Amino acid sequence: MNKTNPEILPLRCHDCGQPALVIANGYETFYRVTSDCKPWPPGGCLARCSACGLVQNPVTKQWGEEASQIYANYTIYHQSGGAEQNVFDPQSGAGKPRSDKLIQSLRSECALPTSGRLLDIGCGNGGFLSAWSRLIPGWSLCGSEVSEKYKARVESIPGVEQLYTCDIDQIPGPFDLISLVHVLEHIPSPSDFLRRVRSKLKPGGLLFVEVPDCEQSVFMLLVADHCSHFSPPLLGGLVSAAGFEVLHATNTWVAKEVSVAARLVASPGSTAPLRLPEPDSLKVFGGWERLAAIVAKIEPLKQQANFGLFGTAIAATWLDAQTQSAARFFVEEDRNRVGRKHLGRPIFAPEDVPAQATVFVALPQPLAGQVAERLARVQRGLNVVLP
C-alpha cells in the first residue's frame, strides 16, 4: 500500500481542520445531483465533524475535481431557459421570483437604508442584483463571480458599478450589505471565508446568507458540489462565531432554505474553536438515513406504465437517476418550465398529466402534502404518492 496516497490519510474537517470526521456508511452507494440539477454518479462521501459539528462532504482531491468538472459545465436554471426559480404560495400556488421574496423579507425585517452599497458574491447571471435594482433603486450594486461569462448581462443592470472576477480581498470596499445567495455551501473553510467578507463591510454593515435547509430537505445532502450542509441553527452558529450579531436565522422566508441576516459587531468575536449546536448537527447528519427509506418507497412504482415525478429540481433529478430514468414525464407548477423538457422527457402542467397516472412528489414534507392537495383539485384520477 502506498502510504503517501493522500486519499488514505485521515480525513480532516475543512472548517476546523481536526481529523475528527464520522463517515455515513452506505451514502457512497447513492446517486448524486449537481447543484444545477443534473444527475451525478454514486461514490460521494458524507461526514460529520465530531469536533466542530459541521456536516460536510469532505474536501478531498476527488471532491475538488468533481466540483471543478460540475462548474465547467454549469447552466443556471436550465429547466426554465435561464429564468430565475419561482417560489410558491402554499395555498394559492402562485409563484414569484425567489430573489423578490428574499429582498422583501430583508427589507421588512432588517430596516434597510434607502441608499447604500451592496456586494452580491456569487451573483451568477444577476438574478438577485436585478431584483434589488428594481425593488430598492438608489443603491449602488456590485457583483462578484469566478468567471466573466455573464459580465455584460450583470453590468447592464441599472445601478450596477461593476462585476468583479478577482479575489474577494481585492474588491474595493467597504459595503453596507454583502449577500451570499447559494454560495457558502460551495466554499471550503466557510468560517475563514466569512472573516474575509467581514473585512469588506462598513461598521454596522449587514451580511445576508442564503443556503439550502438540509434538515427540511434531506435531498440536499446529495448535491455533489456542496461541501457544507446547514439548518437554521447551524448556519446561525457559524455566522455568529465569525463575528456577527445574528438578527434572523430562519427557514420561513423561502421554503426549504435557510436565511440568515446578521450585523457586523465591533469586536471580531471569540477566538474559541467553532462549536455548532450538537443536537442540530446530529439531526442534519442523520437525515441521510431517510434517503434509503424514500428509495424503498419509489422502487415498486417505477414498473407502472404512466409513472411521473413532480418537480424538476434536486429531488426529482436524484430520484430519476436512482430509478434508472423510470419517469415518463415530470410535472411542474412553474409556468417557466412547463412545455420544456427535463432529462429528455416532457414537463407537464398539473392539468395536462395523463389520467390514471402515478405521480411521486419529489419534495420534502409538508410541501409534498400541499402539492398533493393542489394536484387532487385539478386531476381527480391521479395516484399521488408522497415521500
Nearer to Zn ion by Cβ, of 16 and 359: the residue is 16
Number of chain positions touching Zn ion (CB under 5 A)? 7
Residue whose C-alpha cell is 423578490: 100
Angle between helices 98-110 and 127-135 (to 10 degrees): 50
Least distance (Å) between residue 237 CB and Zn ion: 12
Report the alpha-carbon distance of residue 94 to residue 75 in Å, rounded: 25
Query: Which among 98, 374, 112, 47 is positioned nearest to 212, based on CA atoms?
Result: 98
Strand partners, 331: 310, 348
Is residue 264 involved in binding Zn ion (CB under 5 A)?
A: no
Measured from the CB atom, is 14 or 342 closer to Zn ion?
14
DSSP string, 285-338: HHTHHHHHHHHHHHGGGGGSTTEEEE-SSHHHHHHHHHTTS--SEEE-S-TTTT
CB 51 → Zn ion: shortest distance, Å? 5
Instruction: Closer to Zn ion by CB, 82 or 286: give it.
Output: 286
Stretch that binds Zn ion, among 14-22, 32-40, 91-99, 108-116 (CB under 5 A): 14-22
Residue 227 vs 375, nearer CB to Zn ion? 227
Q: Which stretch binds Zn ion (CB under 5 A): 32-40, 43-51, 90-98, 232-240?
A: 43-51
Binding mask 127-166 for Zn ion (x = CB under 5 A): ----------------------------------------
- Between the CA of residue 234 and those of 49, 109, 260, 263, what are the distances in Å? 13, 21, 10, 17
3-state helix, strand, coil split of the chain in percent (to 5) is 35, 25, 45
Stretch that binds Zn ion, among 51-59, 172-180, 260-268, 301-309 (CB under 5 A): 51-59
**Nearest-angstrom CA–CA distance, 118 and 174:** 9
Identity of the residue, 52 or 221, whose beta carbon is nearer to Zn ion in the bound complex: 52
- Based on the shown chain and the rule CB under 5 A, indicate whether residue 51 belongs to the binding site for Zn ion: yes
Please choose, out of 50-58, 99-107, 216-224, 349-357, the segment that lies near Zn ion by the rule CB under 5 A.
50-58
Q: How far is CA 174 from CA 47, 178, 239, 240, 353, in A?
A: 36, 10, 19, 20, 52
Q: Does residue 338 belong to the site contacting Zn ion (CB under 5 A)? A: no
Contact pattern from residue 281 through residue 320 relative to Zn ion, giving x for each residue in contact according to CB under 5 A and a dash for the rest = ----------------------------------------
State in angstroms the smallest separation of the CB of 82 from Zn ion. Answer: 37
Per-position DSSP letters for 158-209, written without gaps between them: TTEEEEE-S-GGGS---EEEEEEES-GGGSSSHHHHHHHHHTTEEEEEEEEE
Q: Which helix (H) or strand (E) holds 154?
A: helix 151-155
**Is-contact 1 8, C-beta < 8 A?**
yes
Judged by CB under 5 A, the stretch of 6-14, 161-169, 186-194, 372-380 that binds Zn ion is: 6-14
363 binds Zn ion (CB under 5 A): no
Check binding of 52 to Zn ion (CB under 5 A).
Answer: yes
Judged by beta carbon, residue 54 or residue 368, the one nearer Zn ion is: 54
CB atoms inside a 10 Å sphere around CB 192 = 13
276 binds Zn ion (CB under 5 A): no
Binding residue (CB under 5 A) for Zn ion from 11, 16, 118, 347: 16
**Nearer of residues 230 and 330 to Zn ion, judged by Cβ:** 230
Residue 49 sits in the site that holds Zn ion (CB under 5 A): yes
**Cα–Cα distance between 38 and 217 in angstroms, integer?**
17
Note whether 70 binds Zn ion by CB under 5 A: no
Contacts of 290 (CB under 8 A, 6+ apart): 218
Query: How crowded is residue 341: how many other Cβ atoms within 10 Å of its Cβ?
Result: 13
User: Given the complex with Zn ion, which of 15 and 84 has the nearer CB atom?
Assistant: 15
Choices 48-56, 163-171, 340-348, 370-378 (CB under 5 A): range interacting with Zn ion: 48-56
Q: Which is nearer to Zn ion, 279 or 300 (CB)?
A: 279
**Between residues 237 and 387, which has the closer beta carbon with respect to Zn ion?**
237
CB of 196 to Zn ion, least distance (A): 19
Query: Quick one: residue 40, left, alpha or beta (phi over 0 = left, psi -120 to 50 = alpha)?
Result: beta
Contact residues for Zn ion, defined by CB under 5 A: 13, 15-16, 49, 51-52, 54
